[in-house]
Structure formats: structure tokens, C-alpha cells
Amino acid sequence: MKSFGMFLLHPSRPARIALGYLLLASIWILVSDSLATLLADSPESLIRLQAWKGLGFVTTTAAGLYVLLRLAPPPAGEPGEALGRAERFRAVLLGLTFLLLAAFFIGFGGLVYRNLDAEFRNSVYLQQSGIADLMAGQVEHWVESNHAETRIFLADPDLLAAAKQLGQAPDKAAEHTIREHLSGLLRERKWAEAGLYAADGRPLIHVGAELPPEKALVQTIADAARSRGFRFNDLHALASNPGEYRIDFVMPVTEVHESEEVRTVLVLSVDPRNSLFQILQRSPLPSRTGETLLLRREGNEAVNLSPLRHGERRPFEVRLPLDSDTVSARILNEGLGIGSAFEAQDQRGIPVLAAASVVSGTGWRVVVKTDLEEVMQPMQRYARMVFAVIALAVGIAGLLAAFLWRSQQAAHATAQLQSRQEREALVEHYNSLFRQARDIILLFDPEGRIVEANDAALAAYGYSAEEFRQLGVRDLRAPETHSEVENQFKDAARPEGVQFEALHRRKDGSLFPVEDSSRVIDIEGKPYRQSFLRDISERKRQEREILRLNAAYAVLSQTNEAIVRLASRDELFPRICQIAVEAGGYLGAWIGLVDADGKLQSQDCCGGSLAEYFKRRSLVVDSDQAAGSNPTTIALREGRPYYCNDYLDDPATAPWHELAQEFGIRASAALPLRRRNFIVGTLNLYAAEAGVFDDRTRALLEEMAGDISFALENFDREALRRQAEADLRESENQFRIVVDKNVAAIFMVDEGRLKMANPRAHVILGYAPGELLGKPALEIIAEADRAEVTGLLQAVASGEIEGIERNFSGLRKDGSLVDIGARATRTFIDNRPVVLGVAQDIGERLKAQQEIQHYMERLEQAMMGTVEAVSAMVEMRDPYTAGHERRVGELAAAIGTEMGLPEPTVTGLRMTGYVHDIGKISVPAEILSKPSRLTPIEFEIIKSHARSGHDVLKHVAFPWPLAEVILQHHERMDGSGYPQGLKGGDILLEARIMAVADVVESMASHRPYRAALGIDKALEEIAHNRGRLYDVDVADACLRLFREKAYALPA
């Protein structure tokens, strides 16, 4: 305990130096790491700062050791006068050291505060700009949603026709339709007013407050009619009532393809107080002084369009000259605040932080501002904390200085001896560091000759120590960098030294890059240059690889974005080529597709720096050229990418070596493009650097080519889908025409009420169009026939009888009777039985029968056309099974006929067969056309087509249980089928017939994953599993058709 106390009162010199060194090193580590974090603005600058930290550590500790050694007492026996001078010098040195530490802490604290202040201001500036953009986005959304409401009007053909009619002549029915719609808009959207105006501004219909149209609105209406486009009457105060405000959305009543004069214009007016101003008053962040303004330029004034939070000022009251120094004027006059916040005074003369954002499609600026005093409050707390830490550090430095002064006084007797020993140890330590350092260390004399080199230098350059002493600084540099040597040698004389990158030369002539950190040191009064060199060859290689991969990732990302955004090949290909050149850094790119003659035509080129190259070289390639002719044909023929990493030495590019040399081409790539597993073209890239297509770059480019191939298939699928939908709409339209224009009455009864009746039914019974719908069927039957006919209808609906054909007396609306001949049968809609029938006035029976027969044929043709269109749509998805559905339908009908089923049931079997695989539209085309065995997951996806087909058609009204048969056509008699696992009699008879027909046709026909098995194998399967998987009667009928009646599947 006593010795520890003596240590504290009289520490030994090694202990004092060790403690001082520990404190200096700790302070250096903490401060240098903090400074590096604060000053580094990139990973590269952080690496350079870390290199400087080592040199700085050596320099700082050397300075600290110097101070500690100079503070040591003089050797024993020193004269008293010399001792006094030494004591005074030590006192001055210690004081200066304390002052330097205090200055350092204050400067460091100021730097920390400055960086905190800069980061804080940057943060609040970004936050303010983000709020401005958010609020502007909400205002844009509000404007667009109101604009969309005007477009809805044009989307309704009835409203459009009524509005056009009013523009030509008064029409009460049209006026009633428009007024009801506009009134509904006011109730649903809370519009202030809505109206239909003539092109000259005369109101035709007005709903809402009765206000006379203002001049600006009349002019806007005329502009909209003349331009045939949407117009926006900006926010304004009403002349008749300045306390009311309106924004008018004006849309001419016309269609895009029309060229006739616009006669009517729709106007929807909104009161911004009920919506727009409320949006502006909702701030995403709580603030005591923050507010959002809406500005507009009017002449030489900045006008505030929204109410102010401060001062209770109404819209349009605050008008400021554009040459004033206020926030509003500077935003509109100088364009400040857009994308970055700024500081200025608002209309109150108070400093604020403001940011602005443009509202697209308007003349508005959204301004978000907050009082600067509120914004900077958190920074004031940071300042107090930084100043407290500085004061504490200065205090600690003072205590440390006092401790050192006391310690050096206590160690007077042994200081000189310890100083000499430690100096010798330090020199030896430095020499050891110099010799064994991994980095190259060179020492140059004032004339630039090498006087010393460490072991790392000998190994790096290949010279011996003696050879090094014969060399100068220029002998180690690449010849092309000799002009830089003199300036760099001079820069090393600066106090902070110099750091740069250079290209050095080894003894064998090879070059390698280095990072050179040099400074001048004094040796015996002469300026010697000490250089620390680090071989950065690996780092440079990694940097190049990172840049190349980043470019490849950018190309892949932007290509995927283009695939998502662009809807056609003509838009996509030029964009992909542009991305390859601009984002990928390639010299040029082109995409070619194989035409009908088997030649690869250049579809889109993005020449970049190769525009002239592409002109001088033909880009038409014959895909059947001889093997190895060029990279593009190799990629086409072999279906694999061809990478040419040395363009000028590759035999495949021999015809273009001279041209490539001229344009700087050193590498190329040709990647095949596929569509439905067929090669249809190539993506071709050209680079200025040899060897750029490494494994990782190749993987990214091949992924890019795969994405382009996916886009090509998607374009094809989309085109086929649109065509199928158009065909389906055409068939449905023909079906509707047949029903509506039929000379016979067509009706549908559901639960005793008329669910459908065509116009002819209304004419026969004397009702206006639509009056029969929902009416009880018994009310149109005369009293004498009512009980019998309604009973027959109920029997048909319940399935007791197949159908009826009967004459009866119909009861017209006026009470008179009409003789009617009717035929009716049962069908299903949504799995519910309904009665579908036709009827005719018997007085015109012969003529009507002829017409009925004619239209029934057209009806059946239209329905068959619809079914064939649906079947064609499925075959477009799976071209390998084209004709399968038609052949299954014909075979199923033949089996039904063989079993003696009624003709309607046979027709239903044929129709069902034509669409029984419609559910395959939900199965990916790649699975449908896969040339190998399906995986369990893929087979489960295939099995879902029965359920999908049922879901597609379950709401379509067919006279047969078509949707249910589609759902069950893969069920089996023993319950082993799917998707419901039904057994025996639970399976519809039609589904059992469809199952046999489907199996026979599938086995007899070719499939992507196998060749056709033949009709004999198919019949053997049916006979073998008769009674277990397949219905006995159905199987026997099928076998008789082929074996006894020589039935053959249609071609």
C-alpha cells in the first residue's frame, strides 16, 4: 500500500511516459475515428483517411514523446543556472501544450457542432421538401379525381346520346336523364353545381345553386368546345358573391373519333372550402407554426389562393409583389423551394423555412413553411451539449497538465538516463517498422535519388538494395507519367505532405498502380522525401469489376422496368438497346428477329458510338449459314449465347476485324431470344474492353435475354387474348340481335315469373318494352286456359315432362284475347331450372313458323359460333392440342346417338365437348406445351382446369348442364377421378360420356410429351376399365361405334 502511494506521488519515468503515451493514443484513437466519420463522404475517402491515420498516429505520438522528454528534468550535476533555464522551458512547454490541447478541443467541438448543424439542416430541409411534394401530390390527386368524374359522363353511352340530343334540340326525356345524373353527382360527390351548357355558354341544364355563368367560365366553355378537350377554370371568387369560391371542370360532350362540331359541354363546379382547403390544412406532422399555402401568379403579384392559418386571412386577400423579398414572391419569381427548402421571410416579416412543389396541370405552387425559430429549437439543445463536453475536455486537459508538472518534478534524478534508453528503444523500434513494414517505404535525397528502401520495396520492384541506390524517382515511374513527377515531388514539401495514385514500373518492365503517401522530413538539416507506397492492383481490379457489375445490374433492372411499362415490341426493343448503351456502357446494341424467310432482320438499333459501324455492316443475317460463320448465326442455330471476349482474335468475327479495329470494338455477345421454346431472334452487344463478359456478367445478361423472351411471349398471348375476346363479343352481339329482332316471342319463366321477354312478346301481348319482366306468367294467360297451362309450365320446370307444345288464349294488357301457339322446354341457369320457350300469334302461324325456323337456325349458329370462339381461344393457349375439343365433341355426340339419347341432349354433348377444356386458359402455356413428363406440382395445376372451366361458364345460360359436365368430365366411376372424387350415379350421364370421348381422343392423338398411341390402344383402355373407371353402357356404345360401325375420329 505504501509503495503504491509512493508510485502516485513519485512515479518512475517509464511509468510517466507509459501513462502519457496511453492517454495520447486513447485520445488519438477516439478523435481520429470521430474525425474520419465526420469528414469521410464516401468509402474511398474513408480508406484514404484510414491511411493517413497511421501516419498521423506516428506523428502525434512522436510529438507527445517529445513533450514528455523535454519535460524531464536535466541530468544530475547540471549547474543551477542551467537547471533554472530548463525549469522555465518546461513550464512554458507545458503551458503551450495545455493551450494547444484546449485549442484542439475547442476546434474539434466546433467542427462537431458544424457537422451536426449541417446534418440537422439537411434533414429538416429534406423533410420540408418531402412534405411539400406530398401535399402537392394530394392536390394533384384531388384535381385528377375530379377530372375523372367528367370522363365518367362520356363513358356512359346513354348519357352521351342524351347530351348530344339536347345540343341539337330540346328533348324532355334527354333532359330528364341528364338532370337525374347530375343531381346524383351532387348527392354523391358534394359538387357545388353541375350543368350542361351549349358551346356558346348558354346553360341548358343546371343543378345546384342558381348562379349566372361568369365570363371566365363562358370563355372556358368555348375553348373546350373548340379544342374538343378538357379545360380547367382555375380557382376564383364568384363575382356575384365574393365570399364564395369555385373551381370548374369543363369537358366537351363528344367522342374521341368523332369530327362533328361540339354542341354541348359538361361543367362540374366544386367549392374548394369543402375539399381542397381541407387537404391543405391537414399537415402530416404536428407543428405549432407550420402551414400550407396554395400560390398562383397573377400579373406581377403572388396571390395566396388558400386561407391562412396565421392572421385569419381569406383566399385572394394576400397579394404580394413579385419583386418583394417574401417567400411567396421568391418561389414564383426565382423558382426557389422546388426540390429544396430555403430560408426567407413570410408576409408577416418572420423568418421561416419554406419548400414548394409544382401541382402538375395547374398554375399552382404548394408552399409548406414553418417558423425558423421552431425548426432550430432541437439544434440549440445540441449546441449546449457540445459546449459542455468541450468545457469538460479542457478541464481534464488542465488536470492532466498539472499532473505531468508534478510528476516530472518528482522524477528529476533519473530522467536523463531513462530518456536516453527510451530514445534508443524508439529508434530501434522505428528501424524495425521500416524494415518489416508490408507497404513499400522509400527515402529520397534532395536530388531525388533513392538512399534507402525496405524489404517490401525490394520484393515489389525486383531490384537489390545496391541497385536501388543507383536509381532516381523517375526510374520507378511509367514513361507517360514522367511529366507529373516534378510537381508531385514539390507537393511533398507541404506540411501535410501529398497523397496520390501513380503507375510504377518494375525491373522487368511490367507496370503496376500504387497509392503514394509522401512528405518531406528533415535529416541533418536537409529535406529528404519519405514515401509510403501501397500496391493497389487488386483494388483497381475490384473497382473495375464492381463498376461493370453495377452497369449490368442497371441494364437488367431498367430492362425489366421497360418490359413492365411498355406494351408493344416496337416500343420495347428501341428502349432496351438504348438502356444497353446508356446504362450498360456498351458501344452499341441491336435486336434482330427471324423473318418468314429464315433471315434475321435488324429490328431496332441503338448505335451509340457505332452508328456509322452499323451503317457500313449489314445486319441482315441468314440463320441457315454454315457452322461457325459469325456469333449471331451460332447463337441462332445452337440456341446458346456466344461470347466473344477478344473480338479481334476470334475466327467467328474475322470478316469484321478491320472494321472493328477502326471503331474500337474489343468484345461482343450474341444471346438467343425464345418464344414458346423456339429461337426467334438475338440480342447483340458490343463492348470497348476485351474480357468484359465474365461469369457474373454473363449470368445477368442471360437473365436479361430470358426476360426479353418472356416479354415476346407475353405480347403474343395478349394479342391472342384480345382477338378471342373480340370474336366472343361479336358472337354475343349476333346472339342478342337474333333474340331482339326475332319475329317470334321468346320468353323465360323462373319460379312462375317472366324473367326475360323479347320485344316481339311485348308486341303480341300489347305491353310497352320492359313491362313484362317480373310479371307472373299466369297474368298473361286467359282464365279458361290458366290452370292447365300453368300446371304444364310447373311440370316442365320440375322435369316431370321434357317439354310442351300447346295453343292457348293469351290475355293482352287491354283485356282482349289473342290466340297463341307456344313451345317450351326446361334449361338451367346458375344450376336452377327455368322454362325457355317461343310463342307466336297463331293468326300468322305459317309465316311465323317459317320465320321461327329461320331465326332458330341463326340462334343455334350464333351459339355455336360463341362456343367455337371459346374453343379457339383455348387452342391458342395450347396449339399442340388444336382440334382436340372439336373431335371430343363430335365423338361424344356420336356416342350419345348410339345410346339413343334425345337430339337436344346430343347437341348439348357436342357443344360441351367443344369447350370442355376452356379451363386451360388459367394454366401457364409453358406447362401445356412442356415436352416432358409433368412434375407433381405442374400436374396439380393442370388438374385445376376442370374447376376453372366450371367457374368461367357457370353463370352463362345454356339449355344444357354444360358447366357441370365440364366440372365432372375427369371423374371416374370408382371415385378415383378429380376434382370432387364422385362415384357411379353421382356423375352426370353427359359427364360419363365426355370422359370416355376425352380419353379415346387423347390417347389416339399426338401430345408434346409423347407420340400418338393409336385408336387400338385407346379402345383397349376403354374395354379393360369398363365398369371400373368408365360407365358400362357408355363404354359399350363407344366400342360398337369403332369396331362394328367403323367410326373414325374427324381430321
**Residue type at 876?**
M
pLDDT of residue 1: 47
Residue 652: strand pairing partners: none
The answer to whether 419 and 69 are in contact (CB under 8 A) is yes
681 vs 932, more confident: 681
Kindly report, residue by residue over 845-876, the tens digit of the pLDDT: 555 566 656 655 565 565 565 666 565 555 55
C-alpha dihedral, 604 to 607 to 608 to 612, nearest 10°: -160
The answer to whether 818 and 839 are in contact (CB under 8 A) is no
Q: How many CB atoms lie within 10 A of CB 73?
A: 21
Q: What is the C-alpha separation between 835 and 796, in angstroms, rounded? A: 7
Please state which CATH number belongs to domain 741-875: 3.30.450.20
What mean pLDDT is reported for the chain?
78
Q: How many CB atoms lie within 10 A of CB 27?
A: 19
Q: Which residues are CB-neighbours of 987 under 8 A, at least 6 positions away?
A: 968, 971, 973, 1031
Cβ burial, residue 22 (10 Å; 0-12/13-18/19+): exposed
**DSSP 8-state class, residue 326:** B
Q: What is the C-alpha separation between 776 and 219, in angstroms, rounded? A: 56
Q: What is the C-alpha separation between 183 and 198, in angstroms, rounded? A: 19
As given in the structure block, the three cell numbers for residue 634 are 451460332
Between 3.30.450, 3.40.720, 3.40.50, 3.30.310, what CATH number should domain 277-378 receive? Answer: 3.30.450
pLDDT of residue 622: 54
pLDDT of residue 62: 59
In this model, does residue 263 exceed pLDDT 80? Answer: yes
CA 383 to the chain's CA centroid? 43
942 vs 828, more confident: 828
Band the pLDDT of 1042: cuts 50, 70, 90.
very high
Band the pLDDT of 990: cuts 50, 70, 90.
very high
Band the pLDDT of 430: cuts 50, 70, 90.
low
As given in the structure block, the three cell numbers for residue 794 are 310447373
Q: Is the peptide bond before 979 cis (omega within 30 degrees of 0)?
A: yes
The answer to whether 261 and 184 are in contact (CB under 8 A) is no
As given in the structure block, the three cell numbers for residue 814 are 287491354
253 vs 435, more confident: 253
Q: Which of 486, 536, 393 is nearest to 103 (CA)?
A: 393
In this model, does residue 490 exceed pLDDT 70? Answer: yes
The answer to whether 626 and 652 are in contact (CB under 8 A) is no
Most confident of 426-440, 547-561, 907-921: 907-921
Kindly report, residue by residue over 90-144, the tens digit of the pLDDT: 667 767 777 777 777 677 777 777 777 778 788 888 888 888 888 888 888 888 8
In this model, does residue 272 exceed pLDDT 80? Answer: yes
Hunting for cell 432541437 — which residue is that? 378
Q: What is the C-alpha separation between 451 and 447, in angstroms, rounded? A: 11
What SS3 class is residue 772?
coil
Q: Which of 839, 794, 834, 795 is nearest to 820 (CA)?
A: 839
1051 vs 264, more confident: 264
Q: Which is the CATH superfamily of the domain at 437-535?
A: PAS domain (3.30.450.20)
Instruction: Give, rounded to a whole angstrom, the gap between the first and last alpha carbons of the chain.
Output: 113
Q: What is the C-alpha separation between 971 and 981, in angstroms, rounded? A: 6
Look at the domain 878-1051 and name its fold: Hypothetical protein af1432 (1.10.3210)
Q: What average pLDDT does range 673-694 have in this prediction?
A: 84
What are the residue boundaries of the structural domains of the chain, listed by start? Answer: 2-121+386-425, 156-271, 277-378, 437-535, 542-719, 741-875, 878-1051
Same fold yes or no, 156-271 and 878-1051: no
pLDDT of residue 638: 85
Complete edge-to-edge strand list for the sheet that includes strand 817-829: 753-757, 745-750, 832-841, 817-829, 803-811
In this model, does residue 998 exceed pLDDT 80? Answer: yes
In this model, does residue 76 exceed pLDDT 50? Answer: no
Kindly report, residue by residue over 158-213, the tens digit of the pLDDT: 888 888 888 888 888 888 888 888 888 888 777 888 889 998 888 989 898 777 77
In this model, does residue 736 exceed pLDDT 50? Answer: yes
**DSSP 8-state class, residue 73:** P
Q: Which of 348, 306, 354, 307 is nearest to 330 (CA)?
A: 354
pLDDT of residue 413: 46
What SS3 class is residue 437?
coil
Q: What is the C-alpha separation between 856 and 955, in angstroms, rounded? A: 22
pTM reported for the whole predicted model: 0.37
What SS3 class is residue 195?
strand
pLDDT of residue 626: 40
Percent of the chain whose predicted confidence (pLDDT) is above 70: 79
Between 2.40.110.10, 3.30.930.10, 3.90.1150.10, 3.30.450.40, what CATH number should domain 542-719 receive? Answer: 3.30.450.40
In this model, does residue 71 exceed pLDDT 70? Answer: no
In this model, does residue 84 exceed pLDDT 90? Answer: no
Helix (H) or strand (E) holding 167: helix 157-168
Q: How many CB atoms lie within 10 A of CB 339?
A: 13
pLDDT of residue 18: 66
Look at the domain 156-271 and name its fold: Beta-Lactamase (3.30.450)
